[in-house]
Amino acid sequence: MSTTNKLLAGAAILVAAYAGSSWYVGKKAEAEINHQVNEINAAIATQLALSLGEGEIKLNVVDYDRGWFSSKVNYEIRIKSAKDEQFQFLAQDHLRHGPFPFAAIAKGHIAPLLAYSDAKLLPTKETQPLFDAAKGEEPLRAHSFISFGGATKTVIDLAAIDYRDEDGNQVLMAKSEGQVDYVRKGGKEQADFTMTFPSLSLVVDEGDLHVQLNGMRANGSITEQDKAQASEGELHIDQLGINVENSTQIFIENIKTASSYEVKDGLLDSTLTYDFGKILADKQDLGQMQLDVGVKRLDYVMLNQLSQVDDLDSMDEDELLPMIKQILVNKPEVYINNFMLSNPAGSSTLTSDVRFATTALDPVENEELDLGHYVESLNADIRLSRQMIKGYFSGENMISSMADMFFNSAAEEAQEAGLVEYDGNEAKLALSFDAATNKLLLNNKPISVEELVQILFSMQMGGGLF
């Protein structure tokens, strides 16, 4: 055999070998795609359950046409609202099989891959306005590099949007981008994401309301291991501006929100925080607000079942009570780690923690008010600043004086009733209860439930604030 024939034969063998490997890799890629779709649906179901969402969101593979070197995959996102409205979004994916998909190499990725994915949103009745607003660009495009171990890097591109309707409403969004990194190793699966939106503008009723967001960034992760699930996420906004009828202007700067949850052994722990760095209303500095709240030991199975109920308000009490009682079995806890309002003149804070008793919904056997029947423990600490109240009206001397006088009068009345401690500048209330010792303390002094109720009743009758 001549050298040329040997080379041609060798080339033919290599081509056949690559075609065979590409076909095999294509089969593996299909299995990986189906696995990741299942993981996405599980994560969506968890998020809906946490928010007691009454609708449904599901991603489906509606068509998978696998070839030797590439596959065409059609996806469907079905959304069912709480009012049973149905929405459908379609996406198409051109999946190039590994081990060396040329499209990935063209983008600078030379390492072996299971597949390279190029997915885009398809125009439908629901999405056509989005395509029109993108002015000829693809509204959404995602490029994914899928490794043999399942690790996937997805780069997301969102086109600039200029949407206007006949009622004078307008949505403007600058070109935005994001990335999702998925890793599966040693029984642990984790997806990390980042999204960046340089600017987003909403105009309603030809400018009667104008909302502007600048410098919006989101990031987070979702993790699953040994049947335990966890998630955390953050959202940062450099500035939120609200203009109402060109007369009232509100600006909130340095907005930070964060959330997290963990589901382990069927129990859910979750936190949520807000931080508004600076609030301005018509150029007046209203200071900042911080909120940090959370829950512990919520029965995730029951929570998920409640999220599937179309209308909780119409649910029969005989059905609802057993589910809530099951949630109480683990003595769930609701807490406010910190709620703070502050301005240049002062700050006020609130912290609280309530751990519910398993008997909270059981019938009461006697007429005496037994706090331990409802809660295992309770703690609350409230501190109200007189100067902060005045500071909110610093530009209006008369209103500031009236607010100060009203606060001082109410605080003195509450102090005289024994509800708060007041030093002329700050009103403080501390309340704690421990079912184990059956002790209720108000401002570190023992008090009975009946006495506390009497104080509150007398304050209400007297028109007191506290």
What is the per-residue pLDDT across 200-226, written as a single tens digit (0 to 9) for each? 999 987 778 999 999 999 999 989 887
Band the pLDDT of 173: cuts 50, 70, 90.
very high
Q: Which segment of 12-26, 155-169, 302-316, 439-453 scores lowest on mean pLDDT?
A: 12-26
CA distance 63 to 55: 25
> Which pLDDT score, from 0 to 100, does residue 17 have?
39
> Which pLDDT score, from 0 to 100, does residue 51 have?
60
| Mean pLDDT, the chain, whole residue set | 85
The domain ranges of the chain are 18-159
pLDDT over 80 (residue 148)? yes
pLDDT over 90 (residue 443)? yes
Mean pLDDT for 195-201 is 95
> Which pLDDT score, from 0 to 100, does residue 464 have?
52
The closest of 250, 255, 219 to 237, measured between CA atoms, is 255
